[in-house]
């Protein structure tokens, strides 16, 4: 399904972005790589005017329109998870997720768009045990010749107002300042870098050599769809993602339970130190970690929290949960709203991201907590955004496009 807006969201977004871009000269050994900063005044205004965590790395803003609706775990009925075994042989690299009824949402005060808690049902499905890795994505590219969005030169037809010199293939890369900065302006640490793509995560001089087992990044929505289709799979819905991430637990703040660091142990690749200028990497990683470097959750799935954000097939709206909760009947296999709305950037259609990343910190964006919702434009990848696929028991409607 497409958003209500008649225009193609990706083109509009990139057109807007290119309108406001600012050339940035990056001194890279022997190369004058430059990029542009995507400047959107609406986003900046939203950031400055917001007080509760404002913008997260990929432009995730804490929308606060949904009303607070805490769940009393003592009185509300616990979820009724299915206990059906896998209906057939488990595809290689995947895990059976039984599905069932669960509470979806979050009580985290800054996650306004993850309320109210609402009961949701999803059918069982198989899910990739880990995020799709560089090696797996390379296999797809080798077999199909696929070229990702970040590797394609933006065309003058798509961006008629952009200066020709700005029409360069690239992607958005986290480039931290060397000093503390105010957290209300993410242009201080995000730059559009020429030549950044899945093969060169930090820019043209970086590579994925030795990172074959890291999650692939700089993946746009259509790139993820293309991979999943090739693999005979699809992207998870937001509800499937959350069901899987909870690992059978009921309304816990983390995929593994109640504490961020049980017995002092790091359970996910997140950000330690002072955001964004000083990442101490206390958990062992300052960027991506090899998949499955941290313990699996209750279903045996890895890195659904932290490491890289992951695409889901749902459009983003901050009021979607309220819409579902207001209905009398249980939401069964919800597929997301029919259109997208982000109060921070009205008119820009976005898909839901889930899971948080190696850049998530409680100082700024703690969305490695279960239920935390991210969002992003379908044509925009970053070096902390990847994906994984799911597979239906039988052919059901595939991912929405
Ligand atoms: Ca880390």
CA–CA dist 29, 23 (Å, integer) = 18
Q: How far is the CA of 361 from the centre of ligand 1 (A)?
A: 9
Q: How many residues does the chain have?
A: 401
The total number of structural domains in the chain stands at 1
Answer whether residue 291 is part of any domain: yes
Per-residue pLDDT, 142: 98
Residue 136 tokens read as 């797996």
Q: Rounded to the nearest whole angstrom, what is the distance from the C-alpha of residue 100 to the centroid of ligand 1?
A: 32
Cα of 335 vs centre of ligand 1, distance in Å, is 32
- Residue 38 Cα to ligand 1 middle (Å): 26
Assess if residue 397 is contained within a domain. Answer: no
pLDDT one-digit tens code per residue, 258-314: 999 999 999 999 999 999 888 999 999 999 999 999 999 999 999 999 999 999 999
CA atoms of 323 and 39, how far apart (whole Å):
32
For residue 22, pLDDT over 60 is answered with no
pLDDT digit string, tens, across residues 111-153: 999 999 999 999 999 999 999 999 999 999 999 999 999 999 9
Give the Cα separation of 240 and 354 in Å (integer).
11
- How many helical (H) and strand (E) elements, i.e. helices and strands, does the chain have? 6, 16
Classify 13 as helix, strand or coil: helix
- Do residues 148 and 218 touch, judged by C-beta distance below 8 A? yes
Domain assignment present for residue 193? The answer is yes
In the prediction, which pLDDT does 65 show?
Answer: 29
Percent of the chain with pLDDT over 90: 68
pLDDT in tens, 192-235: 999 999 999 999 999 999 999 999 999 999 999 999 999 999 99
- Could you tell me the distance, in angstroms and rounded to a whole number, from the CA of residue 58 to the centre of ligand 1? 17
For the chain, the C-alpha Rg in angstroms (whole number) is 20
Q: How far is CA 241 from the centre of its chain?
A: 11
pLDDT at 32 over 50: no
pTM of the model: 0.82
**What is the distance in A from the centroid of ligand 1 to the CA of 261?**
13
How far is 377 from 327, CA to CA, in rounded Å?
28
Whether 400 is covered by a domain: the verdict is: no
Domain of 204, in residue numbers: 4-391
Distance of CA 170 to the CA centre of its chain: 19
Render pLDDT for 38-55 as a digit per residue (tens, 0 to 9).
Answer: 333 333 333 333 333 333
Report the CATH number that the domain containing residue 223 is assigned in CATH.
3.90.1580.10
Q: Which residues surround ligand 1, an ion (CB under 5 A)?
A: 269, 283, 285, 358
In a domain, 401, yes or no: no
SS3 of 149, please? helix
Domain assignment of residue 278, yes or no: yes
For residue 294, the 8-state DSSP code is: S
315 within a domain of the structure (yes/no): yes
In a domain, 399, yes or no: no
CA distance 131 to 267: 16
């Amino acid at each position: 399904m497409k958003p209500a807006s008649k225009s193609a969201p990706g083109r509009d977004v990139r057109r807007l972005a290119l309108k406001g871009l600012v050339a940035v000269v990056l001194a890279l050994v022997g190369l004058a790589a430059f990029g542009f900063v995507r400047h959107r005044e609406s986003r900046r205004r939203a950031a400055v005017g917001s007080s509760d965590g404002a913008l997260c790395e990929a432009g995730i803003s804490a929308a606060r329109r949904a009303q607070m609706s805490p769940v009393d775990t003592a009185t509300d009925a616990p979820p009724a998870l299915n206990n059906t075994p896998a209906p057939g042989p488990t595809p290689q690299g995947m895990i059976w997720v039984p599905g069932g009824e669960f509470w979806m949402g979050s009580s985290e005060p800054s996650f306004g768009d993850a309320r109210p808690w609402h009961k949701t049902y999803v059918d069982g499905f198989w899910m990739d045990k880990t995020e799709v890795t560089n090696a797996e994505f390379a296999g797809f590219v080798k077999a199909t010749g696929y070229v990702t969005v970040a590797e394609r030169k933006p065309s003058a037809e798509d961006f008629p107002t952009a200066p020709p010199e700005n029409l360069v293939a690239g992607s958005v890369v986290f480039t931290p300042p060397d000093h503390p900065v105010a957290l209300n302006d993410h242009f201080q640490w995000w730059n559009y870098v020429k030549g950044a793509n899945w093969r060169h995560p930090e820019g043209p001089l970086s590579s994925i050599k030795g990172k074959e087992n890291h999650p692939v990044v700089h993946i746009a929505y259509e790139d993820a769809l293309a991979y999943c289709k090739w693999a005979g799979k699809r992207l998870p819905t937001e509800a499937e993602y959350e069901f899987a991430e909870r690992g059978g637990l009921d309304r816990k703040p983390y995929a593994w339970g109640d504490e961020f660091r049980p017995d002092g142990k790091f359970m996910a690749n997140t950000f330690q130190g002072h955001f964004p200028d000083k990442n101490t990497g206390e958990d062992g990683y300052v960027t991506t970690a090899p998949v499955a470097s941290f313990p699996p959750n209750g279903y045996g799935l890895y890195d659904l929290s932290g490491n890289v954000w992951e695409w889901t097939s749902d459009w983003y709206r901050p009021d979607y949960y309220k819409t579902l909760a207001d209905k009398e009947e249980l939401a069964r296999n919800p597929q997301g709203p029919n259109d997208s709305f982000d109060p921070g950037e009205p008119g820009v259609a976005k898909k839901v991201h889930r899971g948080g990343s190696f850049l998530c910190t409680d100082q700024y964006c703690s969305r490695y907590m279960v239920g935390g919702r991210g969002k992003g434009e379908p044509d925009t990848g970053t070096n902390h955004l990847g994906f994984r696929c799911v597979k239906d028991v039988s052919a059901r409607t595939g991912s929405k496009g």
